[in-house]
Amino acid sequence: MSQSHQQPALSKCPGCDEPPAAGDLFCGACGYDLSAVPARPGDRPTMAITVPPAASGSEAVRWPAAAETDSSDAPAPVHRPSDLPGTDSGGRPLAEQEQEQVQEQGPLGGPEPSAVPVRHDDRAEPGGAEHSGDFALAAPDPRTAEHTAAAAAPAAGGKVCVACRSGRVDPDGYCENCGHAQPRERDHMEQELGSVAAVSDRGLRHHRNEDSFAVSSTALPDGSPAVVAIVCDGVSSASRPDEASAAAANAANESLLASLPRGTHPQQAMHEAIVAASEAVNALAQEPAGAMEHDAHRHQNAPACTLVGAVMAGELLIVGWVGDSRVYWVPEDRSRPTARLTEDDSWAAQMVAAGLMNEAEAYADERAHAITGWLGADAYELEPHTAAFKPDRPGLVVVCTDGLWNYAESAEEMAAAVPADAQEHPLRGAQVLVGHALDGGGHDNVTVALLPFAVRPQGAGSACETV
């Protein structure tokens, strides 16, 4: 039987929301064409979808229980179609269909991989008997010894990052892998050579170590030993102070090693060494042609540094200096008097020497550490200071920059900071003195060299006698 189309009854006009009268084809309020409203679709009865009963003689499907996960971040295992019993639309078991797909598409559902071997995470060979289904790893397993060994040596002659222990360090001092800034080689330096030792540290406030040192030993013409210690402090207000201190220390050390074996008097050798150091620092100020055009004031800020050195030769102790780095004498018998063997080239020292201020007032002034003598192209007339001493008892020679003596200024304070066994263990003693400065605040670079002076007691007298 055919059914006629009936206009759906509307509760309100779609145009003005007014209820239309029964049988109206147009809205009486707004004139909306009520016949344009689409007819309601015919009923479509809902059919219940049920699981078909199991075939006779067969058991219900048993779904494998998912493995429980622990508190780690490992993801829950994923079931593959071949893990579940059943058949496809053609009546074949799903396990057979899965096997055919693996053979045609490869183990990961994509094209068959190339012949390049890819190691799996949990087995040595892809065709091994044990297979956990893990994805193949294109990169080496970081847990293997081979990967660790390769990471430890990223490149021939290259440095390994101190932070991640795997990245290569660029020439600019940063790790290519993690970007960590590497400590500079000069941030902390230690050297022990026989009976002389030196330690230098960047300190806690400076961004680089502008100090430098050189320790060495040689033989005099008569075969007796000569021990050398040079300590230099770069002038921070000058350009390239770290280069200046290194150049001065190396030049002075090489000059002494060349002149002492020839029989040059140690005091004269020290004077010549300071002159050689000055020439080495002056050479750093030489610039290529045209450099002055870019910096008209560069010649007024040439590399500069201070220098202090000590030489033990025979029964003599020779000291030489330019600037405010110092040499102290600390006798082995601490009941004996100590002494400072150098005089600063500084504003404070000049005020004291002129009688205008006492030492306490001068060094309390903010201008106290303004140096009046240094090595550099812009220095005033070079006046190397040298002195010779003949100690009559064993003791310890302390050669240091102001980064140390700022925290132990007087001879008595320095003697109190020196460990009792520093004469037998000079390296440890130098380490303790550097630690003393760091504990005090470490406001400057700290460098100290210790030279034990061993002589047989020759009776009463002053700790040092000027020759």
What does the pLDDT look like over 35-64, one tens digit per residue?
765 555 555 444 444 444 444 444 544 545
**pLDDT for residue 465 is more than 50:** no
Q: Tell me phi and psi for residue 266, to 5 degrees.
A: -55, -35
Q: Tell me the range of 7-11, 46-50, 347-351 where mean pLDDT is highest.
A: 347-351
pLDDT band, very low/low/confident/very high, at 25 (cuts 50, 70, 90) = confident
pLDDT band, very low/low/confident/very high, at 209 (cuts 50, 70, 90) = very high
User: Using CA atoms, how far apart are residues 260 and 16, in angstroms rounded to an integer?
Assistant: 116
Beta bridge partners of 340: 328
Tens of pLDDT, residues 119-136: 344 444 444 444 444 444
CA angle, residues 253, 259, 265, in degrees to nearest 5: 110
Which of the 8 DSSP states describes residue 301? G
Bigger pLDDT: 397 or 119?
A: 397
Return the pLDDT at 155: 52
Helix H or strand E encompassing 403: helix 402-405
Return the pLDDT at 80: 57
pLDDT band, very low/low/confident/very high, at 169 (cuts 50, 70, 90) = confident
Helix H or strand E encompassing 292: helix 291-294
Which amino acid is located at 383 in the chain? Answer: E
Tens of pLDDT, residues 150-161: 444 555 557 788
Return the pLDDT at 369: 83
Q: Tell me phi and psi for residue 47, to 5 degrees.
A: -105, 135
User: Using CA atoms, how far apart are residues 107 and 131, in angstroms rounded to an integer?
Assistant: 12
Return the pLDDT at 384: 94
Beta bridge partners of 191: 198
What's the mean pLDDT in 331-345? 95
Q: Which long-range contacts (CB under 8 A, 24 or more apart) does 221-226 make?
A: 221/261, 221/262, 221/263, 224/313, 224/314, 226/260, 226/266, 226/311, 226/312, 226/313, 226/314
Return the pLDDT at 409: 92
Which amino acid is located at 456 in the chain? Answer: R
